[in-house]
Amino acid sequence: MRPLKQILDGKRPLVSVGPDDSVFTALSQLADHDIGALVVLDGNKLVGIFSERDYARKVILKGKTSKDTPVREIMSDQVSCVTPAQTVEECMALMTDKHIRHLPVLGPNQEVLGILSIGDLVKETISEQTFTIEQLVYYIRN
């Protein structure tokens, strides 16, 4: 399988918000970029992750308003992360174990290089399996 760095290179630029931005701003970013989660950065430091799930469980169900609530109040601040050296299989195992759908990828200085979704990893796995099947069919036929 391709290294995580190559998967990230094929994705759109990183989308982020600050911890003091409103939840409404974060939701607008999700909608504008058609994504399900974004990283929360304080300067260049990762301080959390904001997802549609956070919004549904921590704003709507608690009667808060998205325009008056800062992201820091509802973001997930215990963020599982990976490095580019890790494999797709390791990422999928971590996501399964932690019941999460998004993983920030951190560089050597703890900078956020990008974010991977479970969809990215499934797509990569299917692509690899398709390639293997095609190679086996070619081998059998020849």
CA 14 – CA 88 distance, rounded (Å): 19
Q: Can you list the domains of the chain with their CATH numbers?
A: 4-141 (3.10.580.10)
> How confident is the model over 45-72, as pLDDT tens digits?
999 999 999 998 898 888 889 999 999 9
CA 110 – CA 104 distance, rounded (Å): 10
Q: What's the pTM value of the predicted model, to 2 decimals?
A: 0.85
